[in-house]
Amino acid sequence: MASRLRLRIVHDQGVIGPGKVALLKAIRDTGSISGAARSMDMAFRRAWFLIETMNKMFHEPLVRTSVGGREGGGAELTPLGVEVVERYYALEEATRAAAAPHLEWLDGKLAQAAPEDTP
Amino acid sequence: MASRLRLRIVHDQGVIGPGKVALLKAIRDTGSISGAARSMDMAFRRAWFLIETMNKMFHEPLVRTSVGGREGGGAELTPLGVEVVERYYALEEATRAAAAPHLEWLDGKLAQAAPEDTP
């Protein structure tokens, strides 16, 4: 299998990586924290904790919850939340494109796992 | 502080990140595994383990040790080892350049730690 890049954005306030961004995306898609957590096979409490962490990392919150309380109500991304998701994927795409020729060279030098169906 | 990128190259055979590459660089600079480990404040056994892991990841070894045995002898990078170090830093530089405008945007939105000397 080809090698691939794993990215994290590290900041004084915390780390942003693919997991947190996927959770934002799932909230955008499902309209609730519980739905997002379920779609990612993540405990609700963990999803809640990650969102609180992210909301505190930024000047403004990324996720807004609506009446109905922690379990009942809906959740949506704020305009900043939407933009953070888009920016993260733009960053990911730009870095992957920049890394591609180097990873290709590396793949030519890395040992391959033995094919499973070798006779 | 500005946010920054943390990179790992993930492959079936293992992971290559800044720690392993810094170890290769230290071997190139010090000429021995023990010297490299010392310069990085790393246990010799851990350095040895990481080098064995890397040597197995590639078609050819990245580090060659000379007579004198595990503790006594010298160590040097093979031509492939030299090239892997250079490629890794080229990849890092290319991806950082590609990520820069996105990180800059993000820095404008991330909360800052309160300055310690606020009156």
Of A7, A57, A88, the CB nearest to B110: A57
Q: Calculate the CA B86 to chain-centre distance.
A: 11
Residues of chain B found within 8 Å of residue A1, distances taken between Cβ atoms:
11-12
A63-65 and A75-77 strand pairing: antiparallel
Round to whole Å and give the CA distance between B118 and B33: 47
pLDDT grade, residue A2 (50/70/90)?
A: confident
Closest residue by Cα to residue A106 from B29, B94, B13, B24 = B13
| Averaged pLDDT of chain B | 89
3-state secondary structure of A112: coil
Check residue B114 and give its pLDDT: 54
Q: Which ipTM value was assigned to this complex?
A: 0.81
pLDDT grade, residue A48 (50/70/90)?
A: very high
Q: Which residue has the higher pLDDT, B117 or A99?
A: A99
Q: Tell me: the pLDDT tens digits for B28-80?
A: 999 999 999 999 999 999 999 999 999 999 999 999 988 665 556 799 999 99
Q: Test A59 with B110 for CB contact under 8 angstroms.
A: yes
3-state secondary structure of B79: helix
For residue A63, give the H/E element and its range: strand A63-65
Q: Which range has the worst mean pLDDT, A8-12, A40-44, B89-93?
A: A8-12
Pair A62, A32: CB distance under 8 Å: no
Pair B112, A14: CB distance under 8 Å: no
The identity of residue B74, as a single letter, is: G
